[in-house]
Amino acid sequence: MHDKLRKLAAAIGLVVPLLGASAAGAQDKVVFQIDGNVVPFYAPLYAGVENGFFADQNIEVEFLYAGASDILTNIAAGNVDFGFPNGDAVVAAAANGLPIKVVHTTYQRGIGALLAKKQSGIRTYADLKGKKVAVTSLGSPNYLQLQVGLAKAGLSIDDITVEVVASGAIVQTLQSDDVDAIVFSELRKYALEAAGFDVTMILSNDFLPSFGNVVVTSAAKLAEEPDLVKRFTTAVTKSYEWVIDGHVKEALQISMDKYTPTWADQMGTLTTAFENTFVVSVWQSPLTKEKGLGAADFDAWQMNADILAEYKVIDAAPKAADFVVDPSSIE
């Protein structure tokens, strides 16, 4: 049959897709590099792939993982198509002149936090003087948050001892008292409490209004392939909408079954974290109620950049409009 179709197509000058040809073969294949490791906190994206939301947009996704600064370097160099780094790292990259564009402000606020055991006596950033504090890398957004928090308390990095610990082990270093505090994700407070620890938490967003994970691409890709970028952000939005619309447990189950099986025993804690934090105040905001998920708050982005510059974390504040794009404006 395939030979007959070829002959017919040649005879009448048409290009006819062969019967049985895979629809996936025609999909745009993209590499999506995510901040950190394979963890269930990215369950909406995993569910989006498994539910066919990306396929519906004619996109096939390959997930890779790296630190935020490496992701942004790869985006700027064209090594990957899309990235999912933390917003603070994006501002630092833009300040350094990297040609990157935020095309979907997925997390409407930052989720970084300083976590310490209550028995440590650490209640404020001023209490960190002389203490040992862990971050995942010196290029991480949490390290930027630590610097600003210390500066606001009249301290500097020189007043503490900084330990670099991989994201998969950083919570354990606090549990075992190898460090006095960690600057990481507020969501890990749930895990620490589930393990029986009383925890002090200082939200970075309270002194450094910022954003958690956001979708980033290169300026070149946005200019040259706006249709692909639009379809990709549409799939991201649909993925998160599905979870918000009452499918937290289903999304986490997809993650456990196919991506993060070693987390299966934490399903209860993760469900609580998703329902009480992510769905309520991280993925949604008054702005998203008006403009849809991923909407860009340019004033908040500019405030973040200005604060980072004020406390000398970056040399000068880039203009938000130069590196942030609202998904609704992509045509």
Domain of residue 118, CATH code: 3.40.190.10
Strand partners, 238: none
d(CA 200, CA 44): 28
100 and 234 part of one domain: yes
> Could you list the residue range(s) of the whole structural domain that residue 271 is in?
23-109+211-329
Alpha helices in 17-155 (DSSP H): 43-50, 68-77, 87-95, 141-152
Q: What is the pLDDT of residues 172-221, one digit of tens each?
A: 999 999 999 999 999 899 989 989 999 999 999 999 889 999 999 999 99
Residue where a domain stops, chosen among 206, 234, 269: 206
What pLDDT does residue 24 have? 40
Positions of the chain with pLDDT under 50 = 1-25
Structurally, how many domains does the chain consist of?
Answer: 2
162 and 282 part of one domain: no
- As a whole number, the mean pLDDT across the chain is 91
What pLDDT does residue 170 have? 95
> Is residue 264 a contact partner of residue 255, using CB atoms and an 8 Å limit?
no
The structure tokens listed for 247 are 């499918």
102 and 241 part of one domain: yes
Q: Is residue 4, in this structure, part of any structural domain at all?
A: no
What pLDDT does residue 272 have? 93
196 and 215 part of one domain: no
199 and 222 part of one domain: no
What pLDDT does residue 63 have? 98
What pLDDT does residue 230 have? 98
87 and 215 part of one domain: yes
Return the CA Rg of the chain. Answer: 22
What pLDDT does residue 22 have? 33
Q: Is residue 226, in this structure, part of any structural domain at all?
A: yes
d(CA 138, CA 118): 26
What pLDDT does residue 141 have? 83
Could you report how far apart the first and last alpha carbons of the chain are, in Å?
Answer: 41
Q: What is the pLDDT of residues 66-80, one digit of tens each?
A: 999 999 999 999 999
Q: Is residue 276, in this structure, part of any structural domain at all?
A: yes
